[in-house]
Amino acid sequence: MKALQLKDIGKKNIKTLILFFIVLIVLTVVIKSLFFYKGIYFAPKKGVHDLDISIESIIPEFKDTFEKTEGIVLFDLSHENDFDNEEIDVLISRIIDRGNKVEFLTDAENLDSKLRKANSFVVILPKEEFSEKEMNLIKEFTDKKGKLLLVSDPDRENEINSISNNFNIIFSQDYLYNQKENDGNFKFIFLEKFKKNNITRKLKKIALYSSCPILPFENGIVVTDKNTFSSSDEAKTGFAPIALKNSILAVCDITFFNQPYNTINNNNQLISNIADFLTKPEKEFNLADFPYFFEKATIVTTNLDLSKHAINLKNRLLKADIDSNIKRNLNKSVDNIVIELFDDFNAIVIENLAVDEDSFRINDLLFNRKDSSLVHLSKNNVTILTILADNEEILERTLGLLDTEEIRNNLVDDNLAVISGLEVQEEEEEEEEEE
């Protein structure tokens, strides 16, 4: 009996022990769940990341605003210029957006003809020097308020000073740096000091990435702070990497024109301001710019014998994308090109002109009439170009010289040229060729 009772007690102890372990396990699971539970995993829904949100946090908002104008911006590619076209894509696109045409000078021999029709000329990092003849053409261009943009970079060897020195603008050979505040590199400088003008309009802060001082400092329109120094003069502060003198803008740094550097701070606004500068028409076209002071014209001659010359002139204008027609009567409400002989000339067309058998007088200047011609440009309410000659042969030769350097060599003033002794000059040239 006692043995049976002991056996029952043992079974109860085993059950109690098993129950104890079960309770212990449950309590362990509950306690771990309370302290370490992270929730049930659900796979995220598939979707596209909103890139606009992250981009706006990196790139400042910029909206290009501008006025549409007409003109031609000429870029120099004829002096082994040390840049790739991709580096100026942003600038070129802004120029085109403003309604201007972009042309490229690939042969320096064409500088004369290209500048005649251009409103602005851009020279970036030329590795070849500009000749004296080329500089005379560029000076004449800027004297007529043609815009000139010069771009250099201290990290690339170039001959930009072969142009700029002629305008008393000097690009230094050293570089600017700032070790206290920069865009990740001591040569990547920030600028926040601006002289008020159209180039610095709406600028608060820009970044340049390889810049140099431009002298003299007085022309500077963007100025460095007290922590920016020059590699050649570390004791001095206050430099100008961007300068403006009359119609000439000088910039030392090409990198900020290029993506993605154009998006930093107000660099995009600076590029747009430069595009506005290049596309704002201020150039004063004169006689040496024939035929680009016309958009369209009426060719007038009262002498039927001169009709073939009028037709030839019309065809030449067409090649320059200038529409024209031919009439026998002058209409002073439209632009005209008058071609006549001195004997047929109506004095109403040119004021202060008197013609007699052996000479002609204009503005108190007396000229021999024999084998001579006169080219006169009037720009009042309308543009009237008048070509007069002693005879038909001289007229034909004069028409052939209208878009050549010969007109410039015979200018009396900006809008009057007198070409004398054309027949004699040609005979002399023939004699030299025979020799």
Cα pseudo-dihedral 377, 378, 382, 386, rounded to 10: -50
Q: Strands 214-215 and 170-171: what pairing? A: antiparallel
pLDDT score recorded for residue 45: 36
Q: Considering the entire predicted model, what is its pTM?
A: 0.80
Q: What would you report as the CA-atom Rg of the chain, rounded to the nearest whole angstrom?
A: 38
Q: What pLDDT score was predicted for residue 420? A: 87
Q: Give pLDDT, residue 131.
A: 96
Torsion of CA 175, 178, 181, 187, to 10 degrees: 30
Specify the pLDDT at position 122. Answer: 98
Type of residue at 422: L
Task: Give the pLDDT score at 19.
Answer: 67
Mean pLDDT for back-to-back runs of 10 residues, the chain (435 residues) = 48 63 60 46 34 41 92 97 95 97 96 95 98 96 97 96 97 95 94 97 96 96 95 84 97 96 96 98 93 93 92 94 92 92 80 87 90 92 93 94 89 92 52 49
- Quote the pLDDT of residue 162: 96
Q: Which domains does the chain have, with CATH numbers?
A: 72-279 (3.40.50), 287-430 (3.30.379)
**What residues form DSSP beta bridges with 373?**
389, 419
